[in-house]
Amino acid sequence: MLRNLLIACVSWMFAASVVIADERPNIVWIIPDDMSANFSCYGETAIETPNVDRLAAKGVKFTNAYVTAPVCSTCRSAFITGMYQTSIGAQHHRSGRGTEKIHLPENVELVPKLFQEAGYYTSISGWPVNGRLGKTDYNFEWDESVYDGADWSARKEGQPFFAQIQTQGGKLRGKDVDGWEKVASAAEKRLGSRTPLDAVVLPPYYPNHPDIVRDWAAYLDSVRMTDVMVGEVVARLEKEGVLDNTLILFMTDHGISHARGKQFMYDEGLHVPLVITGPGITAGTVRNDVVEHIDIAALSLAAAGIAIPTNMQAKNILAADYSPREAVFAARDRCDETVDHMRSVRTQDFKYIRNFLPNRPYLQPCAYKDDKAILIGLREYQHAGKLNEVQQLLFRDVRPEEELYDVHKDPYEIDNLADDPAFADKLKELRGRLDAWMDETGDCGREPESVAMYDSDMAVYLKTLKRKNDPVHLKVIEDNIALMKRWAAEGK
């Protein structure tokens, strides 16, 4: 009898441990591409976004969330490791794609691997789920086995899951009239209307060129369609009976793809929405402290009861004892063929940007961006003399070495205070903060990208275009590569 009692106790203890494991929350990340915080819960008035608004009402909304890189592959390399991309050598966009490879430091693990080791089912997909793994775009060598599949439905019964849903977001609008019409028609079919052109209010640094206005309207329709997708994800979780035990995190991978947004260090490129809801989150919470997008790595691990690696730079911003950051940091380096080197630090009140290549124009040649109708329209108005003083800022042939903005009084970051004696102390303070961050985090961007790595990645880029039989685009990129090399040789 004693033996049977012991067996029963052991069986009960094992069963209890399984129940405890099964009760761990599921973690779902929803991360659209190329989208700023143009949701009604963030103050956007031209459109309505009821599903993201509902998440915010049921959870916590961060008003000051910023990416550490304003372009997808570097941003994604950072949040999937919880590390600054500059600390792990992944700071150049679409790097490590050719014969020259990038390997993570030995003590850095991918977040899905940590979840997997803790017994979670890991998945990554687009939406709707189509059986293929979703967007990763990491700049280093990694093993696809960190993802168990494309859909959490393949997990074992009762197994908790960590799921990433990576969607097109702002990319739904495309680059020209064809893309604009496609997303507007989709919104009209699904929601009964398209965003009217007269509802568009552009930032003051963009002119009311008809193509720029239509593009922005289409972008807002892409926001609406992204909101629909969020509603579909929540509906599926509810239908499967797991919604109440799921932490849902909604964030974008960087700001809108526009002239002064994506790839730039202004808030249009760095500021993103961040909404989190689920077990333990107090409904209707609004957080105004500055946070970094890499923090989603630490807070997700902590929510699942997984130890946060001691070397991880991300912080658990949901922890009861969390001490708010005083500043957040970002870096922009090479994007495709275009070589650049910028760093920034932002507090709640000020933004400091350092341009390490000040003798280059603001709008350096970049085939990806220059092919967009909005850039073509901007240049058309510039050549025609139709831009005002603020709108001309993007067309300067050189940049200041330092930029300083009072982001409360000047939210569009137009009035550079770096040379204003009244702000000399603030300039010195933020300059010192940036220097300290670069030192403490081992910024790999202090040294230029090697010629071997640049040539290796450009070979892949050019090969892709050759395969697409796109001789015009190919010639543009070849010319841009030659220009980058010439400028580098000239010390520019």
Query: Reading across the β-sheet that carries 342-346, which strands appear in turn?
Result: 328-332, 342-346, 350-355, 402-406
Neighbours of 445 (CB within 10 A): 20
Which distant-in-sequence residues (6+ apart) come within 8 Å of 130 by Cβ? 150
CB hemisphere CA count around 353 (13 angstroms): 24
How far apart are alpha carbons 192 and 466 in whole angstroms?
Answer: 41
The CA-atom distances, in angstroms, between 253 and each of 43, 148, 293, 305 are: 20, 23, 8, 25
Distance of CA 336 to the CA centre of its chain: 17
In the 8-state DSSP scheme, what is residue 350? E
Q: 173 with 183: CB under 8 angstroms?
A: yes
Active site residues: 72
Burial of 180 (0-12, 13-18, 19+ CB in 10 A): buried
Instruction: Encode burial over 1-18: b for 16+ CB neighbours within 10 A, e otherwise.
Output: eeeeeeeeeeeeeeeeee
How far apart are alpha carbons 490 and 492 in whole angstroms?
Answer: 5
